[in-house]
Chain A
Amino acid sequence: MSWSVEGSEPCQACEFQENLKILRQIPFFSETPIESLKIFAYLCTRERFRQGDYLFSQDDDDGQAFYILSGEAELLYSNGRQDLVIRRYQPGDFSGGLTLLGRAQRLFSLKAVTDMVCLMLTRDKFQKAVTQVPQAIPGMLQAIVENIWEWEKRFLEDRSSECEVCRKRTGVSMI
């Protein structure tokens, strides 16, 4: 693809192998047996985004997960009046594991603040594959459980004393 347009040495030789290496580092995939992981690595594609492009937009249901290879992005939340910057995403960050598992509208937008290259997997491909390699599921569920647990634990520690409404809304992890 556009690697060669850049003028850099084409890296197609190693793209599948590289994808495989990357997936192994992502917690969502790290527990997946290598034979199954190969399939996901094979189904990934690489996309480039220009500064100012949206990787996804709030309220859309695009069903894509991204791993940032290069460049940076901002996670934005719009409350109808203004865009609030939630956090910054950097190379090595992964977003959208949950979106692979089921339909949901985006709560945030992700906007490229520099030119970016991402590894991308779509829900459609992921689900077609995962139904055939059910042995990959437990590892993914474990990663999600840990993620939610971690989030709620931190939430309880950080916020619950300040805000009563927030405290009432805890219990997402159901643990």
Chain B
Amino acid sequence: MKQPTIPVVKRSLFSWIIEGNLKLQILLIVLIAITVSARVLPLEMQKRIINEAIGLRKMDLLIRYCLIYLGAVLLSSALKFTITIIQTWISERVLASMRNALYAHIIMLPLVFFRKAQPGMVVSALVTELATVGNYAGQAIATPVINILTLVTFAGYLLHLNPLLAVISFSIYPIIVFLIPILQKRANQANKKRVDATRKMSSKIGEVITGIHEIQGNGTFKIENERFAKLVHKMYKIRLAWNSYKQGIKVGNNFFVNLGPFIIFLLGGYLAMNGRLELGAMVAFLSAQEKLYDPWKELIDFYQTYMDAAVSYKRTMEYFDIPIEFQLEDKSRPVYDLSGAIEVKDLTFVSESGIQLLDGISLSLNPGESLALIGYSGSGKSTLALCIGQLYAYTDGHIYMDGHEVLELTKNDVVNQLGFVSQAPFIFAGTIEENLLYAVDALTDIRPDMPIPTRDDKIAVLHQTGLFLDVLQFGFNTILSREKHADLATELIRVRQNFHREFSDALSNYVEFFDENRYLYHANVIENLFMGTPNTTDFSQEDLTQNPRFMKFLAEAELIRPLTSLGAELAKQTVDILGDLEPDAVFFEQSPILLDQWEEVRAIVDQLKRTRLNQLPQKDQNLLLNLAFRFKPGKHKLVSLPGILEKMILEGRFLFREHISREDPGAFSFYNLSEYIFSQSILNNILFGQITTTNLKAIDTINQSIIQLIIEEDFLETLVEIGMQFDVGSKGDRLSGGQKQKLAIARTLLKQPRILIMDEATSALDNKSQSRIQNLIETRWKGKSTIISVAHRLDIIKNYDKIAVMKAGKIIELGSYKELIDRKGVFYELVGGRK
């Protein structure tokens, strides 16, 4: 992409309309010129039809003029359509490039900006406000040109028909041109207020959504409703005024324009009676007068769109008009390859609000040295780390890396050899692997010769950070596809057989094995009936009540009534327990009801108080039946599975097998110890059953036994690779806090930076994992990379080369562990206090 010379926030609105769209705009003007001529033609034909064809009773002329009229109308419609399409095209192009440019600018803005900016505000700027501007961009040239040209042409035509009448009927327009800007000015003021009010509202909504747990936790609904209502009321008043002015402009305009025919009738009629105006000319005059109205109205609308767009554009760009602190790159020189030497001299950092967070900090680190920063919270240790990592721009003093002032380095210089793990690492939506490669991917532009991490590299960092088992677990929970993984499936069967030989007895307490003669309490009713995987799409649909073949079977097995009634019982119990609670996924883990069905289920339960089950609409009965289909007695403990129903379902299992082998053999692969089950996870396939416990320690025992077998079969790596495809969910929601932190460390380590800054990077980890990471740093990284670690614990910093004790923005003690202990100062007390 071409680097824009002017920052996006300084560009004029007009520059977007021309730049990159010049050819399209010229094409538009050409098309417009043709359209305008095509618009006058019907008027002339109208006059000739009345005066020449009808007046002189010439049929051939009538047909010829009518055909020309038709042709002109068709042509101008087709042209108008083309013009609209080109306009839309320009609009969308401008909108897209404006969004991209502004977004690129926003994510480079200093962190300080985001402390104050509400996400809602940024969203509304990028999504709503810019859309108004984009809409204008398409019209910016075409609309005024086409309408002014049309007006001028029609006006010329009218003057040609009758100069006196024309001049008098034009006399209205100056009044309008004088009045409208006055109203528009007021509308603009209201619009400015509207943009601000919209921002406030977006930001309030953003705040409420982020803090919803506080609102619900504190029951502050009334307070929040009142606060929001105030904003809504303000917005309501502003929008009312804004729209009233806008409508006022339209109505005023209409009024004056509609006065036109009145003058023509009065004056034209008089002239016609006196024989000074032909009747045909008067009709043409009336139509032309009427046709003046459309372009005029469009011009007025355009004027309003322009004004709105100008206000939105200015307000948006002003909001983000903050200088970028660090340029991405310096094209005049190659990116620095920093060695890891860091020198801090008299460093001071004063926050925007004037608080001095760092005060005269000096220290130096040779490449490969390690430094631990300790101190109470608020002592400035994180701020120092952020300044060194170029995330904060310090206000005074110096930080040198290889003699270069950090403030003058580009982002690429820093990113090239520096890894930063923050206190609250952020994981993006995508797979584990994508997140793992996140930091490395940024390097591909900076270091073109850098090798792409291999599978072994990735697995190595997963091991080092202690994420390996978690990822393996994700691999175990993956459902393989028949098409892609046929070979792997065959190998897994071997693991299954070994597992059953060696471990099945020892683990029988924690696993429910698939057994065609027993009811599976941890499987749902459908799984219990099928005990197999459908090979066709026939039985794999989500809502089996819509499958006539299955319903016929269910009726034969006499299961519809009892299951529907079980579904009703499940619904009643869940509604009784959860009642009016705000639905949350956690509440539905132990019920077969799905979160998004909740309202529907509540309505059915309410209805069941008045009607009998079999009187419910079929749709509702089906929903209850589906609830029963998902029922797992081992998990959904609010209702029991009656013994008799259990026997009937078991009976149904055999009936179903008969049914399938009779009607559609091959439609199902029934569970069989020597076949892979493609509808179940890898883990369940190896177990040939499913885990019944949530006890982490028991699950760990099972995992250990399986891993041992997997290693023997030599596809541990394959499974980890499958696990790396696990989708972590939006913001990494499907990972635990510890997993997120480990992943953040892993993605930094994969980059192998010469400077590693860890800002309390292990605070969410348990003791074992913290020691593991510490160990890793001491054995693999010490001596090779410069390490700066903001530490929250004192027992892990013994082996750091230097320890800096901070208090109120100053370093009060600096030295090795031994030196500081020997000094018997603050550090000694801190350590002693813990013993």
CB distance from B731 to the nearest CB of A (A): 17
Tell me whether B638 is interfacial, beta carbon within 8 Å.
yes
Q: Is the CB of A134 within 8 A of B219?
A: yes
A interface, CB within 8 angstroms of B: 1-2, 4-5, 10, 12-16, 19, 35, 38-39, 42-43, 45, 47-50, 53-54, 59-62, 105, 120, 124-125, 128-129, 131-134
Q: Is the CB of A129 within 8 A of B587?
A: yes
User: Given A5-B508, A42-B590, A45-B694: A60 and B766 within 8 A (CB)?
Assistant: yes
- B512: which A residues are within 8 A, CB to CB? 2, 5
CB distance from B697 to the nearest CB of A (A): 6
CB distance from B695 to the nearest CB of A (A): 5
Alpha-carbon separation in the docked complex, A111 to B782 (Å): 39
Alpha-carbon separation in the docked complex, A61 to B218 (Å): 26
Alpha-carbon separation in the docked complex, A38 to B575 (Å): 11
User: Given A50-B509, A128-B584, A129-B587: A38 and B576 within 8 A (CB)?
Assistant: yes
CB distance from A73 to the nearest CB of B (A): 13
- B578: which A residues are within 8 A, CB to CB? 39, 42
Tell me whether B86 is interfacial, beta carbon within 8 Å.
no
User: Given A12-B637, A14-B640, A131-B216: A2 and B587 within 8 A (CB)?
Assistant: no
Alpha-carbon separation in the docked complex, A1 to B213 (Å): 34
Tell me whether B223 is interfacial, beta carbon within 8 Å.
no
- A1: which B residues are within 8 A, CB to CB? 521-522, 634-635, 692-693
- A59: which B residues are within 8 A, CB to CB? 766-767
- A5: which B residues are within 8 A, CB to CB? 508-509, 512
Scan B509-539; emit 1 where CB is below 8 A from any A CB, else 0: 1101000000001100000000000000000
Q: Is the CB of B695 within 8 A of A49?
A: yes
Scan B556-597; emit 1 where CB is below 8 A from any A CB, else 0: 000000000000000001001111011010110010000000
Known: A1-B635, A5-B508. 14 other contacts (CB 8 A): A35-B579, A39-B577, A43-B590, A45-B694, A47-B693, A48-B695, A49-B698, A50-B509, A54-B697, A59-B767, A129-B587, A132-B584, A134-B217, A134-B219
Q: Is the CB of A38 within 8 A of B577?
A: yes
User: Given A61-B766, A132-B216: A39 and B581 within 8 A (CB)?
Assistant: yes
* Closest Cβ neighbor of A43 among chain B residues: B590
CB distance from A53 to the nearest CB of B (A): 6
23 contacts between A and B (CB under 8 A): A1-B692, A2-B692, A5-B508, A5-B512, A10-B640, A12-B637, A15-B637, A16-B573, A19-B637, A35-B579, A42-B637, A43-B590, A45-B590, A47-B693, A47-B695, A48-B695, A53-B695, A53-B698, A120-B694, A131-B213, A131-B216, A131-B217, A134-B217
CB distance from B795 to the nearest CB of A (A): 12
Tell me whether B735 is interfacial, beta carbon within 8 Å.
no
Tell me whether B475 is interfacial, beta carbon within 8 Å.
no
Tell me whether B641 is interfacial, beta carbon within 8 Å.
yes
* Closest Cβ neighbor of A134 among chain B residues: B219
- B590: which A residues are within 8 A, CB to CB? 42-43, 45
Alpha-carbon separation in the docked complex, A147 to B139 (Å): 74
- A16: which B residues are within 8 A, CB to CB? 573, 637-638
* Closest Cβ neighbor of A6 among chain B residues: B509
Which among B578, B640, B692 has the highest number of chain A CB atoms within 10 Å?
Answer: B640
CB distance from A45 to the nearest CB of B (A): 6
Alpha-carbon separation in the docked complex, A54 to B696 (Å): 10
B interface, CB within 8 angstroms of A: 213, 216-219, 508-510, 512, 521-522, 573, 576-579, 581-582, 584, 586-587, 590, 633-635, 637-638, 640-641, 643, 692-698, 766-767
Q: Is the CB of B581 within 8 A of A132?
A: yes
* Closest Cβ neighbor of A13 among chain B residues: B640
Alpha-carbon separation in the docked complex, A14 to B767 (Å): 40
CB distance from B778 to the nearest CB of A (A): 21
Alpha-carbon separation in the docked complex, A92 to B218 (Å): 33
Q: Is the CB of B581 within 8 A of A133?
A: yes
Residue among B509, B586, B692 making CB contact with A128, cutoff 8 Å: B586
Alpha-carbon separation in the docked complex, A131 to B213 (Å): 8
Alpha-carbon separation in the docked complex, A120 to B579 (Å): 23
- B510: which A residues are within 8 A, CB to CB? 2
Q: Is the CB of B577 within 8 A of A47?
A: no
- A19: which B residues are within 8 A, CB to CB? 637
Residue among B584, B638, B692 making CB contact with A42, cutoff 8 Å: B638
Alpha-carbon separation in the docked complex, A19 to B590 (Å): 14
- A39: which B residues are within 8 A, CB to CB? 577-578, 581, 587
Alpha-carbon separation in the docked complex, A54 to B701 (Å): 12
Q: Is the CB of B637 within 8 A of A132?
A: no
Residue among A12, A42, A49 making CB contact with B577, cutoff 8 Å: A42
CB distance from A134 to the nearest CB of B (A): 6
Q: Is the CB of B692 within 8 A of A53?
A: no
Alpha-carbon separation in the docked complex, A54 to B766 (Å): 16
* Closest Cβ neighbor of A137 among chain B residues: B217
CB distance from A57 to the nearest CB of B (A): 9
Alpha-carbon separation in the docked complex, A50 to B702 (Å): 13
Q: Is the CB of B581 within 8 A of A48?
A: no
Alpha-carbon separation in the docked complex, A42 to B584 (Å): 14
Alpha-carbon separation in the docked complex, A5 to B505 (Å): 12
CB distance from B139 to the nearest CB of A (A): 51
* Closest Cβ neighbor of B640 among chain A residues: A13
Which among B509, B579, B582, B695 has the highest number of chain A CB atoms within 10 Å?
Answer: B695
CB distance from A156 to the nearest CB of B (A): 25
Alpha-carbon separation in the docked complex, A13 to B636 (Å): 11
In the A-B complex, list the 9 residue pairs whose CB atoms are closest, starting with the nearest. A13-B640, A12-B640, A131-B217, A15-B637, A1-B634, A128-B586, A16-B638, A59-B767, A47-B695
- B217: which A residues are within 8 A, CB to CB? 131, 134
- B581: which A residues are within 8 A, CB to CB? 39, 129, 132-133
CB distance from B128 to the nearest CB of A (A): 32
* Closest Cβ neighbor of A11 among chain B residues: B640
Q: Is the CB of A124 within 8 A of B586?
A: yes
- B766: which A residues are within 8 A, CB to CB? 59-61
Alpha-carbon separation in the docked complex, A19 to B638 (Å): 10
- B577: which A residues are within 8 A, CB to CB? 38-39, 42
- B216: which A residues are within 8 A, CB to CB? 131-132
* Closest Cβ neighbor of A125 among chain B residues: B586
Alpha-carbon separation in the docked complex, A16 to B573 (Å): 10
CB distance from B523 to the nearest CB of A (A): 12
Alpha-carbon separation in the docked complex, A19 to B693 (Å): 18
- A4: which B residues are within 8 A, CB to CB? 521
Alpha-carbon separation in the docked complex, A45 to B634 (Å): 10
CB distance from B176 to the nearest CB of A (A): 60
* Closest Cβ neighbor of B519 among chain A residues: A4
Alpha-carbon separation in the docked complex, A21 to B348 (Å): 63
Alpha-carbon separation in the docked complex, A45 to B510 (Å): 14
Q: Is the CB of B587 within 8 A of A128?
A: yes
- B633: which A residues are within 8 A, CB to CB? 10, 12
Q: Is the CB of A12 within 8 A of B641?
A: yes
- B522: which A residues are within 8 A, CB to CB? 1
Alpha-carbon separation in the docked complex, A172 to B216 (Å): 31
* Closest Cβ neighbor of A41 among chain B residues: B577
* Closest Cβ neighbor of A115 among chain B residues: B509
CB distance from B623 to the nearest CB of A (A): 21
Alpha-carbon separation in the docked complex, A39 to B694 (Å): 19
CB distance from B705 to the nearest CB of A (A): 14
- A60: which B residues are within 8 A, CB to CB? 766-767
Alpha-carbon separation in the docked complex, A120 to B218 (Å): 27
- A48: which B residues are within 8 A, CB to CB? 509, 693, 695
- A2: which B residues are within 8 A, CB to CB? 509-510, 512, 692-693
CB distance from B548 to the nearest CB of A (A): 33
- B635: which A residues are within 8 A, CB to CB? 1
Alpha-carbon separation in the docked complex, A2 to B634 (Å): 8
Alpha-carbon separation in the docked complex, A46 to B77 (Å): 74
CB distance from A33 to the nearest CB of B (A): 12
- B640: which A residues are within 8 A, CB to CB? 10, 12-15
- B695: which A residues are within 8 A, CB to CB? 47-49, 53
* Closest Cβ neighbor of A130 among chain B residues: B217
- A131: which B residues are within 8 A, CB to CB? 213, 216-217
Q: Is the CB of A132 within 8 A of B694?
A: no
